[in-house]
Amino acid sequence: MRSRRSISDIVAVVLLIVIAIAAAVIIYMWLSGLIGSVHTSTSATQVKLEITGASVKNISNNSTLPTTYNVTVTVYNPPDSPSTSITVGELEFTNGTMICSNTSGIKVTPSSISPGQSATVYFTCSGPAASPGTPVEVVLVTTQGVQVSYTTPVS
């Protein structure tokens, strides 16, 4: 009977080692992306939209509240980035405080920004007053959820 116990103990140890090795291989494969890789044709990490210029104009007279802003932005989509379009335009103070946002009245010419192409984005929004010369951040959000920003003074 004693010899059977030692064989049983050896089999148990070998099985534990095999299970540990199999678990390590599965974890390694999962972490290296061989298992469960996500397929997306235009992931957010691939979109590399750049803002090359922007202007923010206060079009309200001083007596009206809230203040209305006309925002014009020039964007460039590099050749290695997929086609995209703009869904949200925001105006923020440089400390991150939101001035205004526009999701429905954004005009992009052309409407879809192809790789290697520039486009002009126009939107109007209303919010708290920012005096001329105040630096503000223009933030654009693409259809893939990528945010790009550009700092410019209010004129």
Q: Quickly tell me which residue has 């503000």 as its tokens.
A: 136
DSSP three-state, residue 28: helix
Question: Please, which residues bridge with residue 138 across strands?
Answer: 91, 150
81 within 8 A of 98, measured Cβ to Cβ: no
Is residue 44 scored above 70 in pLDDT? no
Tell me the percentage of the chain whose pLDDT exceeds 70.
Answer: 85
pLDDT band for 67, please (50, 70, 90 cuts): confident
> How many alpha carbons lie under 13 Å from residue 24 in its C-beta half-sphere?
6
Residue of higher predicted confidence among 93 and 61: 93
Domain 50-153 of CATH type 3.40.1110.10 = no
pLDDT in tens, 107-136: 988 888 999 999 999 999 888 888 889 999
CA distances in angstroms from 52 to 118, 119, 138, listed in the order given: 9, 10, 12
| Domain range annotation of the chain | 1-37, 50-153
Q: Quickly tell me which residue has 């209010």 as its tokens.
A: 154
